[in-house]
Structure formats: structure tokens, C-alpha cells
Amino acid sequence: MDHLPTVFYIFLLISLGLLLGNLHYKNFSLDIAGLLIISLIAGHFGIVIPEDFKYFGLAIFIYAIGLQTGPGFFDSLKKEGLKLNLLSLTLLSLIFFSIVGVSYLLGYNSSIAAGIYTGVLTSAPALASALEMKNDHTISVIFGVVYPFALIVTVLIFRILPMVFKIDFNKEYERYKEGVLKEHPPILTKNFKITNEIFKKEKIRKSDLERLTGTVVERIASEHEIGEIVDDFVIHYGDIIRATGTDEQLKRMKIVAGEEAEADVQFKDNMKIYRLLVSNKDIVGKKINELKELYALGGRISKVRRAGIDISPMPEVTLMLGDKLYIVGLERNKDKIIRLIGDNLMAFPSADFIPISLGIVLGMLVGYIPIELPFVGVFKLSFVGGILLCALIFGRLGRIGPIVWQLSPHSNNLMKVLGQLLFVATVGTNAGKYLVESITTHGIYPVLFAIVTLIVVTFSFSFYVLKILKMNGLQYLGFLAGTFTSTPSLGVVNNMVKNELPSISYAAVYPFSLIVSLIFAEVIFKII
């Protein structure tokens, strides 16, 4: 079978690894660790994937993660995300200094310490960062030995933590929703009748009424003739309007308008309500006040729904791929409005590889810019860090001129999965060549050391955060998975919880935690 191409062995390993990883026992599975185990065995028997596939897989994996989390990452830093990221830094520092300290006492060199550190975090990107500093197979071998055990222990920790700290999933989710509603009140719709006596003498334009109350007037029922409802449309005494806004804004509308009307009013205007998904690359990354064509078509956004949260349609709100827009528009322009917004994620530019390739190239260039850090010396973000940083920025911007950086969820997920599989298969086979030699030389002590460190530090830190700081339990589980940059752990949590809170906190800390873990993976070689 020597004549078979490398691609055959890549997909053979991926197939066997995923089959092993998908085997379940009482809701437990190895997941990506299954591929690592198969690859280690294959490497031991002489099947080795060229390292170019490692860098290719890592590039598309990291770039996809950055694009996906970029829109929320910078916003999270302004809010609670800053506190979460400081806690993430604390936990990673505890793990780092524990491993460095004990490694120094046991006489382990920097390669062994780096392998243990990256293996404890089950972090393939951190491993790549360490290998960039020192291309020593010992790092990969120790990582490969520690990784499966650390992954199993990590998954068990996520199973046990809720029981040990008595986390009530339903109660914690209700607690979370109360906080979200205070920060992002739901956008409601109500009907009002203009009975304020002042409007018997004075008329008011639709745009002025909206400015006074902060609402969006969607529909109008009037005894007067109704043409096209535009901003300067005049509202009369006795008219019935349908307005959209927060509870506070609707209360202001009631004060201004006069009284609330019945919900089943028959509006005979020429307006319709459209619920459309943003998928047209021409509007992705644009602010609402830049949608001149929508206004020209008689359309007005009354609500933006993103990641399960209602967002008021303020002029400065930037549209992101996949946003759900509630639009009030002229019925005769229905097709044009739909064409403008897109409303079809499958049609989003699937073949536009220019933003992907350009973003990765720029990221690699940024990664190799030397940065002088106190106590560390010259530091580089590296291949991984540069790509991640650029992807976060591009994901947040959405577009620069004609270039749309965002990807559809399907494309993004494909890049992540394919990149991770290629990376793990390559790293596993290259480490497998030295597996037996490493175990013979170092024994199981690195594994025991890694497991003890992981358990002691994680449970001690969890006690402090959950019992002293009183963090929301669901938020903490997602935070912990994000700090470990462990997608399998997040999957375990999501299977237990069935709501979005862990994923939100995971996304809030993942990029920062990944960058910190990359830095620590390089710092090890400076201090040991």
C-alpha cells in the first residue's frame, strides 16, 4: 500500500478516529481524543502525515474561530466579559505556575513542561505555539500521552462539578434571564389610539412621534385617506397606531398618544411586517442608518434579534450575518426588500475565498512581528496568535469596503471541524513515532502530575468563584470550558443544560484564553 497518497491515510485516520470518538458509554465519549489515539497508534506503526497539513489545518481552524467570536468578543470586554477574562487569566496562571514550579522541582526540562501544560489544557493551538518555539518531538509526545487522560478527566470534572456545588440548572437560568432583561429589555408591540386632547388642535408627524417616544410606528389605521406611510406622514386625533419598543418606550407612547387600543385592530394601510435574515453581503457590516435603499423602498427596521437577544434599531447598530430583522415596509416593494436583505443563509457567498485567504495571510504576517515585553523579552504572537487576532478584528468589523469578512454558519463550522481534524491527525502521527520511547523514558509520572494539577486547581478555583464570588453556575461551566479552550467540554455542558448561557460565556473568554495559553506556552521556554 506504499503507493497510496497521503490524503488516503488522512481520511482513513479521520474516519477511524471519529468512529472511536463517537462511541458512547453513559453519555460519555472520547470525541476528538478518539482521532488522537488512532493517530498515535498509526504513527507508532510508521504512518506519518507531513507537517504541512498541521499548519494548514490550524490556520483554517483558528481563523474560523476568530471570525465566529469576533462580533461579541470586543463588546464582552466592555461589560461582564472583562471580569470573566480576568478570572480566566487567574485560572490559567494558577495552572501555569503550578506546572512550572513542580517541573522545576522534579527536574523536567522545558519540552516536558510544555507538553504537560498544553496537554492539561487539551489545547492543540497552544501545542503549535510551543512547537514554534522549539521543534522538539518530546513536546508532542508528552502532549499526546497527557491529552487523552486530561480530556477524560476534564469531561468528568464537568459532570461532577454541578453535583459537588449543587448547581440547579433551572434556577440559575432564571437568574440569568432576569439580568439579561434588565440590560436588553424585550421589544414589544402594542396598539394605541390618539386621544390626547392636544392633537385635536395640532397634528403630529410620524417621525416626531417616534422621536418623542423612542418607538417605531409600524402601522396606522385612520378615517383619513392613507397613502404611503413615510416619516412625514401626519397622524390625526382618533387614529390608531401600532408601535414597537421596550416596555418603557411604550409607556411613553401611551402618555403621548392618550390610551392603549385593542390588539385585534384591522389595519387597512399598505404596509406589511417582514421577518428577514441578513444574508446579502452588500449590507453585512453596514450600520442601520446607512441602509438608504431600504428607506427608499419605504422600509423601516423595528427590531433586530441577534443570538436570542432583542436589540433596539438605533442608527449606529451594525448588521451582522444571520441577524433577524423585523421590517415594516410597503407591500408593493416586498420582493425588493427581501432581495436587499437576503433572507437566505444558504445563498451567502460560499465560494468567496478572497477574505479567507487574505485574512490568513495578514494574520501570519502580524504573528511574526516582534514585540518587546518586560521580563519576557522579544515575544511574537506566532502563527496562531496573529491569525486569531486578525480574525477577531475582521469578524467584529464585518466588512472593509467591498470585502465581507463574515462567513455563513455552515462555512464557518466546516472550516473549524476540518481544520481541527487535520491538525490532530498530523500531530498524532508525528508524536506516535516516539510514543513508546517517551513512555519508557518518562513513565506515567507526567500523566499523574497533569491529572493531579488539573483536579486540585480546578476544584479550588471553582469553590472560590461559585461560593465566594457567587457567579452564576451555568455561566461558570461555559466560562470553564472557554478557559480550557475545550470544545468537547462545552458539548458536555450543552447536553446537560439545553440553553445558550454556557455558550455565551464560553465565547466571551475563549479568544482571550487562547491568546493567554499561547503566550504561556512560549514563556515556559524562557523560564525553564
The letter for the amino acid at 108 is Y
Q: 14-53, pLDDT tens digit by residue?
A: 999 999 988 887 766 677 778 878 998 898 898 999 989 9
**Is 184-346 a CATH 3.40.50.970 domain?**
no
- CA 428 – CA 352 distance, rounded (Å): 32
The letter for the amino acid at 377 is G
Overall average pLDDT of the 460-475 stretch: 92
Helix, strand and coil in the chain, % to nearest 5: 60, 10, 25
Task: Identify the bridge partners of residue 193 per DSSP, sorted by sequence position.
Answer: 240, 259
Exposure string (b/e) for 188-227, b if CB count within 10 Å is 16 or more?
Answer: ebbbbbbebeebeeeebebeebbeebbbbbbbbbbeeebe
The pLDDT score that the predictor gives to residue 346 is: 67
Helix (H, G, I), strand (E, B) or coil at 372: strand
User: Residue 430 pLDDT more than 50?
Assistant: yes
- CA 291 – CA 444 distance, rounded (Å): 62
* Average pLDDT taken over every residue of the chain: 84
- CA 275 – CA 68 distance, rounded (Å): 23
Q: 381-404, pLDDT tens digit by residue?
A: 777 778 888 998 998 888 888 888
Q: 318-357, pLDDT tens digit by residue?
A: 888 888 999 988 888 999 999 999 888 666 555 568 899 9
The pLDDT score that the predictor gives to residue 379 is: 67
Cα three-residue angle 74-78-79, rounded to 5 degrees: 115
Q: 357-378, pLDDT tens digit by residue?
A: 999 999 999 988 887 766 656 6
- CA 505 – CA 135 distance, rounded (Å): 34
Where do the domains of the chain lie? 184-346
- CA 68 – CA 73 distance, rounded (Å): 9
Cell reading at 60 = 483554517
User: Residue 9 pLDDT more than 90?
Assistant: yes
The pLDDT score that the predictor gives to residue 226 is: 65
For the four alpha carbons of 394, 122, 100 and 368, in that order, the dihedral sign comes to: negative
The pLDDT score that the predictor gives to residue 1 is: 44
Q: 69-83, pLDDT tens digit by residue?
A: 777 667 666 667 788
- CA 45 – CA 433 distance, rounded (Å): 7
User: Residue 99 pLDDT more than 50?
Assistant: yes
- Lowest-pLDDT range of 26-35, 411-420, 439-448, 508-517: 26-35
* pTM, entire model: 0.72
Overall average pLDDT of the 401-423 stretch: 84
Task: Name residues whose C-beta falls within 8 Å of residue 242's C-beta, 6 or more positions apart in sequence.
Answer: 189, 190, 191, 192, 217, 218, 219, 220, 265, 267
The pLDDT score that the predictor gives to residue 124 is: 72
The pLDDT score that the predictor gives to residue 322 is: 80
Q: 130-163, pLDDT tens digit by residue?
A: 887 887 888 888 887 887 778 778 878 888 888 8
Exposure string (b/e) for 5-26, b if CB count within 10 Å is 16 or more?
Answer: eeeebbeebbebbbebbeeeee
End-to-end CA, the chain: 44
More confident residue, 250 or 378: 250
